[in-house]
Structures are given as C-alpha cells and as structure tokens.
Amino acid sequence: MFPLTRRPEASLRRGCEEGNLELVRLSLQRGARVNEAAADGTTALMLSCREGRVDVARLLLDSGAAIDQADAVRLVRAQSADFADYQQKAGAEVARAPAAPAAPRTV
C-alpha cells in the first residue's frame, strides 16, 4: 500500500520527490490540489522538475498544474537527460558536446 497521509497534498509532494507515479495518481484522485504551494513556495510540479521526474511532471501537467518559465526550463533539461539515457540503453551512440577549446597561453 502507498504511504498516504491525511492531507493528499502531502502525499502528492512525497510522490513527486520520490518519483512514485502511483502515489501521485492516487493523491490526485483523493483530491490533492495540484497547484498548492508549500510554506517555502514550491509546488508539486517544481519538486518533480527539480528531481528530474519527467513522468510525474507530465501527469501533473495533464492534471492541470500551472507551469512557469523556470519549471519549463527544468522540465526540458530533465527530458533531455531522460532521452539521452533512453538512447544509450537502446544502444545508440549519444553525441556529447565538444569540449571548449583551451584558452591560448600567454608567456
């Protein structure tokens, strides 16, 4: 069984931090308010983006989570890393950004 709390928002936040998609789904079904901010101002979407939980972020967005520019940047970064991992697991060669050229030496 999932560790639900009396406040579905607390369970939602925990699921977002842990990447527990089923706990997030259950919390939303039990009435968790997807856009409620904690005392520190973070929302469930912010937590999932910060933790790189792309699948959780997608579910939150599908459930009406409001997204701001910072969330969008975090989500794009997480998706890029997630996709690169997927490609590597599938056996693809993942191109890495070339190293910056060394600065010229002064004597």
pLDDT in tens, 47-96: 988 888 889 988 998 999 887 767 777 777 777 776 566 556 656 554 44
The pLDDT confidence band at residue 40, using thresholds 50, 70 and 90, is confident
* pTM > 0.75: no
The answer to whether residues 26 and 56 touch, using CB atoms and an 8 Å cutoff, is no
